[in-house]
Structure 1
Amino acid sequence: MKTHELSPMERREQTLGRIYVVLPFLSLGLLFALWLYVSSGEGARFPSPMATLERFHQIMERPIKGLTIFGHVLASLQRVIIALAFAWGLGIAFGIATGWNRRLDALLTPLFTAFRSVPPLAWIPLITIWFGLGEFPKVLLVFIGAIPAIVVNTHAGMRYVQKTYLDVGTMFNATPRQRLFKIAIPSALDAIFAGVRTSTSAAWMVVLAAEMLGGKSGVGFLIIRGMDSLDMPLVLLSMIFIGLVGALLAVLTQLTERILCPWTKKRSN
C-alpha cells in the first residue's frame, strides 16, 4: 500500500500548525519566567508565585466578606450577565432600527453618538446621586459601558448589507419584512457578533471599575481591599482571575459565533 506523500505546501501548513500550538505555551512560559525574575530580587515589591498561591489558599480557608475568590468572581459575573442581557437586547434592536431606517438613523444616531462619547466612568457622580451605591448602579454602569459597541457594530452591519442581496429578494417579490428578517439581519450577523465580543470585554472592564468605587463583593472590591491593606498578593491574585475570566469570556463568545455563524470559520480558514 502506497503512503500519501505530503506536498511542500501541506508540509509547510503542518509545520505551521505545530508552531501555532506551541507558541501559546511558550508565551505563558516566558511570562511566568518574567514573574519569577521581578519577584526574586532582594527587597522586591512584586509578589512571588508562592506568595500568591499561599494567598489563594488563605482566601479559600478564610473568605473575605463571606466569599471566596470564586464567590467574588461569580458576583462580578452576575452583574456583567445582567447588564449584557439588557445591552444586547436593546442595543441590537436599536442598531437594526437605525441601520435599516434612514429616518430613524437621522433622528436618533446623533443623540447616540453624543451619548457614547461620554466615558462610562463619567456617569458615576450622577448615577451615585440618583441611585446611591447599591447593586443597581453597578449594573447600570456596566450597561452604559457595554451598549455602545453592540449598537455601533449592529448599525454598521445593517447599513452595509450588500445591495445585490436585497435586489435578489425584490426580484422574488420578498416583502419588506422578509427582506429585513430573511436577508438583512442574517447578512449583518458577523458585525453583530463583533459587537457582542467587544461589548463583553468592555462590560468586564467596567464592572471592575464600578466595584472599585463601592461595594462589598466582586473582584474589583478585592483589588481595593488589597490596596488599602497593602496586601499585594491579594491584588495580584485578583488580577490573575480577572485575566482568566476575561479570556474565558472571549473564548465563549467566539465559540458561540462559530456555532451560530459557521461561515465565519470557513472564511478564516
Structure 2
Amino acid sequence: MTEAAPQINEQLAEAAFSNQSVVFDELYSADTIIAYKRRRVREHILQHVKPEGQILELNSGTGEDALYFAQWGFKVHATDISTGMQQQLREKVLKHGMQQVVSNEICSYTQLEQLKNKGPYDLIFSNFAGLNCTGELDKVLSSFADLLNPGGMVTLVVLPKFCLWETLLVFKGKFKTAFRRFFSSKGRRAHVEGVYFDCFYYAPSYIKKRLSKDFDLLGLEGLCTIVPPSYIEGFAEKHPRAYRFLTRWEDRLKTSWPWKYVGDYYIISLRKK
C-alpha cells in the first residue's frame, strides 16, 4: 500500500457519506435497531464519564451523538472528513442553539496532529465503525494519549473480524455477505451510494495491545450479538415480541464470553493511566 492509498480510501469514504448526508437522518432516525444501538452506546459512555466533560468525537456524521451529549452538559468538538456531514451538523447546532457547546472541524482521524482544537479532552469517542474505514488504525490510536486529560477515556464502536449473525446468512445463500469478514487483513470492498472504498476489521485485542502502554481496559461489550444487525431490515417492526426477547438477552449477556466478541460491532472503552 502506497503512502497515499489510506488518504485515497478516506476520500472515497468521505464522498460516499457526503452523497448520503442530506437524507442520512431521514433514512435512519426511524429505524428501531439503530435507535437501540445508539442507546446502548450512550448508556455505556454515561456510566463512565461525568457530564460537563470535554468530548472529541471522530467521524461525527450529522451530529446526532454530539447534540445528545451536549444536552447532557458536555462540550463536544465534532470532527469528520465529510464536508456534507459537517454541513448537516452545523445546521443542527444552529437550529438547537448549541453553538456554545458544540464546535466542529474538518479533520481526518489519521491526521489528528493537525487538529486545531487539541483539547485536552475527557473522552475521545468514535461511533458505528467510522474507524473501520482506515487501514492505519494503529496511527489513529497512537495519537490519543496526547489529546486526553489524565484519567481520560476512549470509547470506540468497531466492526470485529467475526459476526455471528452475518455468518448465519450463509443459510440464506448470501455467501458474499456471510464471509466478507473472513481473510480481510487487507480490507474488503464496501460501497455506499455507488461509491466503493475499503473496509477493515479489527479484533478488540488489536486495540488493547496498541493502547496498553498508556491505557487500561475499562469495558468491552458486544453490540448486535443476539439482536439482529440493522441491515436485516424491518426485523423489530415485523417481529416485535421476538425483538424484545432478544434485546433482554443481549442486555444480560453483552459483556460475557463469547457474546462480547461475536456481534456486528463491539464497544470498547479504555482509561488513560
Structure possessing the higher radius of gyration over alpha carbons: 1
Which has more strand, going by share of residues?
2
Of Structure 1 and Structure 2, the greater helix share is in 1
TM-score bucket of the superposed structures, by smaller chain: under 0.3
- TM normalised by structure 2 equals 0.22
